[in-house]
Structure 1
Amino acid sequence: MAVTHAASSLGDGIRVALSDSFGDEITVGEPRQLTGGASRQIWAVDVRGVDGQSQDVVLRRDPPGHGDADRMRAEVACLRAASAVGVPVPTVLASGDTAPGIDAPYLVMDMIVGESIPRKLQRDSEFDEVRTHLADAMGYVLGQIHRADTGTLGMLDAGDPLDAIEAVYRDLEQPRPAVEVGLRWLRENRPARRPNALVHGDFRLGNVLVDGGGIRGVLDWELAHLGDPIEDLGWLCVRAWRFGAEPPVAGIGTREQLLDGYERAAGIRPSEAELHWWEAYGTLRWLVLSQFQSQRHLSGAENSIELAAIGRRVCESEYDLLLILGLLDNIDPSPDVAVPSVHDRPSLSEILELVTGTLRDDVAPVLDGAHERERYLLRICVNLLGIAGRELSAGDRTGEVTELLAALDCTSEADLADRIRTGAVSYADTAVRQLISTAVLTRLRVANPRHVLRPSQT
């Protein structure tokens, strides 16, 4: 795991923060910043008591100067409420709005050892046995979370999640027909709302720690809120969190296993229709959040190749949303037309393919664990080069979409999106379905053709 080193003042701040739990005579090693923190920094540090016994602890803090004390206090409250009902979570050892040397809202907790990388959990032989019951175990843990006492959690948001994600989408001012279809379908088919419970908000592989015995810890409570508990189950079933694997629950199990575990812990079992609605909502939510993340780069607010690359993945969620709503028409693309070129071979698309293959097969494998970040960025570059090569090979298919738009008297996809929103056209109309499917599949077959399911898989 990649680490960086901090000034000693951070270690001093951690030592003072932990004095109530460990006493004044503890010594603290040099903090090591761990990779993986998105909006918050994560530091590991070795703490040694006067008896010579050592313990690894973890500091989570907001970036200095950009703190949200209310949100950090809420995360601490969630961890304690979840722990009280048996949810495996790190023990909070210290927390505060700030401290000398830490200089931001923070919490310190014990370190739980386990694996969180989805592809390892899905494929590595050491997890073969635990995979047979991991979906059930995830359902059981969610049932425990939803039984937590919310009496101390009044600081959490408790609004309508569909209203909230629509507000994010509207603020982007990037109308998309697939999103408008999703919003209308969700409002027309919404199930009765269950009583508010503690909702984790981002429960999926990557945010749980697992070993050969099962789930050892539930992490990252930043998005926790009060709401309909089935939201967490639907989010776990979103196709994006399968990471290419086929089983519908996190790529490791079935919905029946998930619901079996959940029913044992929570005493309720949502219907297939209810779970389906929340899975559709989760897919729409990830679609909009992907738009939001890419816009952070495209607007100039944050220069990031990672965020930029997400912009080409929005069509994956468009496809998934149409698929789960039963509104996807599998349109075959028009045949490629070879365009003569004055240039010698290798062609531009062939050059991109050669460079992509060299970086992927010859350069990436020689980077060791000390270059984890560089390997990650290299994978992004390889993916973007692949997209560029496929787009060149496919040619510009904008004309196909333009013709379908013209048949509906629409000037653009944004125009069609507005008409779906106002009800001027129906998303169930055959011509509308064909147009949206054609546009989404055209984008997806360039961005990530492996994401398109075979007929036998749908």
Structure 2
Amino acid sequence: MTDTALPLRDGIGAILSEALGEDVTVDEPGRLTGGASRQVWAAQARTADGTVLPVVLRRDPPGHGDAARMRAEAACLRAAAAVGVPVPAVLASADDAPGIDAPFLLMERVDGESIPRKLQRDPEFDRVRAGLAEDMGFVLGQIHRSAVEELTMLDDRDPLDALEDTYLGLDDPRPAVEIGLRWLREHRPPRRPTALVHGDFRLGNVLVDGTGIRGVLDWELAHLGDPIEDLGWLCVRAWRFGAQPPVAGVGTREHLLDGYERASGVRPTDAELHWWETFGTLRWLVLSRFQAHRHLSGAEHSLELAAIGRRVCESEYDLLLILDLLDEAVAPPEPACTAPTVHDRPSLGEIVALVAETLSDEVAPALDAARARERYLLRICVNLLGIAGRELDSGSDGPVTDLLAAVGCTSEAELAQRIREGSLSYTDSAVRRCVGTAVLTRLVVANPRHAVTSR
């Protein structure tokens, strides 16, 4: 048992003192935003001679640790550093420690910006933004040159099999997922030689300053596999964060491949990249549902994980979009008029909208920068209230029930099963119309701004 009474600050100090061989004091750590899977804390350490050492602690949520996964992450950082990949230096890593109370990884803090919208829009990044897609391709080429002989602890299963296993374990049949799995099985390209795959290389997980990429972060999904998986993942529409350019919202696929070829000597074909982009889109769909399941199953109470559940339809839409399967979809009906009620106004929908507006326009601006975590959670609450208000206004599920009946099904779960067994084909126009309409009906409630007309 660890000494749970030891403050996190003192736990970090003890670890650093042992790692550096000298006494170290640590200021009170501050939790960084994000971290739905892992907690991320930043702190300032000071040695006896006054040297300041900024550090970052990544740890599993106490009580929900995966020690083997954290050990693998540390090994990946060291392997990548050995071939010149810009990564934070690992200071210490262990399965547990007093005050930490979970598997952890302690690293030097690297200066740089990771917030996608700042990297996509702020003037200070104008110069590096023009070459960022190519730079990201180059760094991926470096990663894929890492020696894998010492990384045998990493998962090397077939990624499509692993993804299907995760999906089936959720017991949540979805027609869009079945379509994606079937298409991927039918169009799979030859596999490239095994390499270290980062698994989550995108804006948000790289640090950038005025000179370029300073650090590659968040290696918890690293594994051994086909290196082009990382390239396809970077092109997934979710990681454009609303911007238009297809690679992370900052560049073209050609720029990405130029950088990758320069570092690796390999240039994937357009068809190969498209397959892995499709795989990445399906992967994010399933992982989103998996993360939501952690909350919905009662395993881990989390506002962030719960909110992800309402974003699954974004990836369903993106998957149908990349496979050109939305042409038969029927637009959802306009919101129904409010039904007569015995209750006074404001109505339930008006109350939800008013609370969301007040939190967004008055409460959030009053929280100073030191309360970044609270501001982050408040934004999630506002988004969820918006979803609730739109669902209240949406009324019925529109034509979905009739479209299901037209293909001989009573539910989307039944439709998913029939696509899986092959008794219904996703190329059939009636099936496409039903699946696309159901996804659009969810999307106009969850995030109507996500819908577009082209990929």
TM-score by length of 2: 0.92
- Quick one: distance in 2 between partners of 1:285 and 1:416? 21
Task: Tell me which amino acid in the other structure corresponds to 2:200.
Answer: D
Which is further off, 74-83 or 302-311? 302-311
Task: Tell me which amino acid in the other structure corresponds to 2:313.
Answer: C
Unpaired runs of 5+ in structure 2? 1-5
Which is further off, 293-302 or 265-274? 293-302
Give how far 1:440 is off: 0.6
Aligned pairs for 1:16-35 (under 5 A) are 16-19=17-20, 23-24=21-22, 26-35=23-32
- Residue number among 137, 148, 153 corresponding to 1:155 in the alignment: 153
Unpaired runs of 5+ in structure 1? none
CA contact (8 A) 1:31 1:43 kept: no
Aligned to 1:387: 387
Give how far 1:39 is off: 3.7
Aligned pairs for 1:377-456 (under 5 A) are 377-398=377-398, 400-453=399-452, 455=453
- Residue number among 137, 140, 143 corresponding to 2:141 in the alignment: 143
CA contact (8 A) 2:31 2:41 kept: yes
Are 1:371 and 2:376 an aligned pair? no
Map Cα deviations across residues 251-285 of structure 1 (whole Å, 9 max, x no partner): 11111111111110011111111111111111111
Map Cα deviations across residues 333-379 of structure 1 (whole Å, 9 max, x no partner): 33555355245554433333233222222222121112222222221
Q: Number of paired residues?
A: 447
Map Cα deviations across residues 196-249 of structure 1 (whole Å, 9 max, x no partner): 100001111111111111100001111111000000011111111111111111
Are 1:6 and 2:7 an aligned pair? yes
Q: Secondary structure at the match of 1:18?
A: helix
Aligned to 1:272: 270
Map Cα deviations across residues 77-125 of structure 1 (whole Å, 9 max, x no partner): 2111111111000112333444555554433322111111111111111
Root-mean-square deviation (CA, aligned residues, Å) is 2.1
Aligned to 2:325: 327
- Quick one: distance in 1 between partners of 2:92 and 2:352? 51
Task: Tell me which amino acid in the other structure corresponds to 1:84.
Answer: A
Aligned to 1:164: 162
Give how far 1:416 is off: 0.5
Aligned pairs for 1:51-450 (under 5 A) are 51-64=49-62, 66-99=64-97, 102-329=100-327, 330-338=329-337, 340-342=339-341, 345-398=345-398, 400-450=399-449
Task: Tell me which amino acid in the other structure corresponds to 1:381.
Answer: C
Give how far 1:8 is off: 5.7
Task: Tell me which amino acid in the other structure corresponds to 2:401.
Answer: T
- Quick one: distance in 2 between partners of 1:333 and 1:196? 45
Which is further off, 334-343 or 436-445? 334-343
- Quick one: distance in 1 between partners of 2:356 and 2:417? 39
CA contact (8 A) 1:426 1:432 kept: yes
Which is further off, 360-369 or 348-357? 348-357
Task: Tell me which amino acid in the other structure corresponds to 1:32.
Answer: P
CA contact (8 A) 2:197 2:230 kept: yes
- Quick one: distance in 2 between partners of 1:360 and 1:13? 41
CA contact (8 A) 2:14 2:24 kept: no
Q: 1:304 to 1:70 in 2, by over 3 A?
A: closer
State the percentage of identical aligned residues.
Answer: 69
